[in-house]
Structure 1
Amino acid sequence: MADNFDLFGDPIPANHGGKGRPPHIPTTENRNRVNMLLACGWSNERIAGAMRITEPTLRKHYFSELKSREVARDRLNAVLLMKGFEGVQKGNATAIRLFLHLVERNDLMQFGQSLRPARVEKSEKSSKPAKLGKKEEALLAAQQPDVGTPMGELMARRQQSMN
């Protein structure tokens, strides 16, 4: 193994500066990075680009991590829950708050709900009222004066007295 590291913390191979491109050396840190990026939903192309390697090199050295793509998010959530629980056991108030948030999010996920609003179907979209133009909006705004100003308050009183 190399004792020297580049600016990104990657080990510099022994044949650096020799003929050909130096081989990629998978490290524990790089394996963790691949797992984290998989959990965030990154494609192989993006992961390889971020690690400055080719896709075949990614598949060659990190095939076991790539196999677990479907469970990577669950594994990340499990680690976050454990870290939060460790903070709860220490009595950290911020950790308690964050842990409760993670548990609520987990409960929503368990019941098949999501934090994002549900997609609106086309039939629901068409039932929305048509968007008003500038002139129609101005007429409606004129009918409803701003009572926070003296002039708006006077106009509101006059409208009430006319009705």
Structure 2
Amino acid sequence: MDVNFDLLGDPIPEGWGKRGRPQHIATTENRNKVMMLLAFGWNNERIARALGITPPTLRRNYFRELRVKDEARDRVDAILAASLWEQAKSGNVGAIKEFRKVQERNDMMTAHLTAHGKNPEKPIKEPKLGKKERALLEARAPDTGTEIGDLMAQRNRPN
């Protein structure tokens, strides 16, 4: 299939110049651009404007990239680190120096998170109790600060 490209390097869709707006074609380059912009923290409207499309078109064509919005920064950082590592292994001195900087930044971030008691992993959430389960737990452990609570606690103790 013969594909023509416009001045910006994007493929020209079928039906260009005919009635109606031409369909947007999601290219690998645009997918990578969306992932990079998500890593920068851009919102969907801003990314759509950068690509010259509407937000619904962005959601329709790039839903896989938008689904991993929270992981975009980590993915881009991992790709950058891998690229620097490959260049450093081949002997590129600039890449070696930059890789060291990335490594030091990562170490500082890890130390900061550990010092402040923040776990970079998501904490395991306790399952939410329903109304009846919560009432049963509260009934088994009454408030002994009140007279009725003290009586209930005495009643619940085994003989």
TM-score by length of 1: 0.66
Structure 1 residue 13, shift from structure 2 partner: 1.0
Deviation readout 1:76-119 (Å, 9 max, x if unpaired): 11011111111221122111110000001111222236xxxxxx
1:24-63 pair list within 5 angstroms:
24-63=24-63
In the aligned structure 1, how far is the partner of 2:16 from the partner of 2:98? Answer: 45
| Partner residue in 1 for 2:108 | 108
Aligned length: 113
Percentage of pairs with the same residue: 55
2:56 partner amino acid: P
Look up the equivalent residue of 2:82 and give its one-letter code.
M
RMSD value, Cα: 1.3
- Tell me how far 1:2 sits from its aligned partner: 5.7
Whole-angstrom distance in 2 between the partners of 1:53 and 1:60? 11
User: How do 1:118-157 and structure 2 match up within 5 A?
Assistant: none
Query: What is the CA distance between 1:40 and its match in structure 2?
Result: 1.1
Gaps of 5+ in 2: 114-159
The list of structure 1 runs, each at least 4 consecutive aligned residues, that deviate by more than 6 angstroms after superposition, is none
- Give the distance between the partners of 1:20 and 1:2, measured in 2 at CA: 22
Hey, what does 1:82 align to over in structure 2? 82
Question: Which residue number in structure 2 is paired with residue 99 of structure 1?
Answer: 99
Q: Quote the residue 1:23 is aligned against.
A: 23
